[in-house]
Structure 1
Amino acid sequence: MKFFTTLAMIMFAGLANADTLSMPTGPVVLTVTGQIAHTNGDGIAQFDQAMLADLAQRDTVTNTPWFGEPHTFSGPLGAAILDAVGATGDTLQVVALNDYAAEVPAQDLRDFDVVFATHLDGNLMSVRDKGPLFLIYPFDEVPDLFNEVYFGRSVWQITRIDVQG
């Protein structure tokens, strides 16, 4: 009987925490707000580098208009971030350190394997290198994305995402 009581407690504890994320232990590099179901603060989800590294990752080797040659951008898939926070909105307001913001359709992150790059050519991206996060579309894989619309959505020095309806 004690076994079943313990098992039930573990199961209910897991359900009670189903809507929460672990707490960051390092400096917070990304805050997600808005229409999200999973949080680790008062209506917000904060991520440090280690938490982002635990999400599904992708390497994208691509040309961009900001560099003269192809580079490898690595980091969590945008869809993995949406899933981690339980995002339900259709539009993302992606905000940079300098308050530049772009509206990005949430569906872009699922349709195009968009990466929130934390690394450039294997090196952690500093603010000087467009870090800590840089939204990268797979421009070389999907040439139709290589245009001003998607360049404008490719925010760098990202600090915040607001998930909107």
Structure 2
Amino acid sequence: MIRLSSLLFALALLMWPGAAPIAQAASDGPVLLTVEIKGDDPQTLAFTRADLAALGETSFETETIWTSGVQTFTGVSLQTLAAHLGVSEGVLEARAINDYMVEVPLADAVEGGPIVAYLRNGQEMSVRSKGPLWLVYPYDSNPAYKSEAVYSRSIWQLERIDVQR
């Protein structure tokens, strides 16, 4: 009875006027990233790995403080994702599976900047290996990326981004 009541309550919340609709992922597969766009016209978007790859795939090689040796990361650039979402200034609230949350300034979304990686060394990343998504910066390409502030933004096990438009 309690379970049924909880289900009905959750359903009522989803149907509440003003509730943001959840856009279905365009591709089959598990949803890896949920993005909630807040503002006058709120939206919730769901992305599979294929959806992210369809935005445009990019790769770079870099060393990290969490891995050994040079790693190759592949994913969608933060710049491309932000453009797709229609945001160009402000802050992204990025949240991991374990509820770790960090604010990422949209000023970081630049050409040659960070990517939302879904592959490391050509392989999908398991939760145990910091996946399935990791916001990773090309640390070796810019000394400014080798800072505590940037390391704190390098959120792995990324599952959600909230953005104010």
TM class, shorter-length: 0.7 to 0.9
Question: 1:119 corresponds to which residue?
Answer: 119
Question: 1:65 corresponds to which residue?
Answer: 65
Number of residues paired by the alignment?
A: 143
Alignment partners' CA distance in 1, 2:40 and 2:45: 9
Question: 1:81 corresponds to which residue?
Answer: 81
Say if 2:89 and 2:107, in contact at 8 Å, map to a contact too: no
Question: 1:15 corresponds to which residue?
Answer: none
Query: Share of identical aligned residues, percent?
Result: 36
Say if 1:35 and 1:88, in contact at 8 Å, map to a contact too: no
Q: Which aligned segments of 4 or more residues in structure 1 are displaced greater than 6 angstroms?
A: none
- SS of 1:73's equivalent in the other structure is strand
> Does structure 1 residue 50 correspond to structure 2 residue 50?
yes
TM-score by length of 2: 0.78
Question: 1:106 corresponds to which residue?
Answer: 106
Query: Which blocks of at least 5 consecutive residues in structure 1 are unaligned?
Result: 1-19
Say if 1:89 and 1:163, in contact at 8 Å, map to a contact too: no
Question: Over the residues paired in the alignment, what is the CA RMSD in angstroms?
Answer: 2.3
TM-score by length of 1: 0.78
Q: Given the superposition, is the C-alpha separation of residues 68 and 91 from structure 1 closer, same or farther in structure 2, using an over 3 Å criterion? A: same
Q: Which moved more, 1:96-105 or 1:25-34?
A: 25-34
Alignment partners' CA distance in 2, 1:44 and 1:122: 29
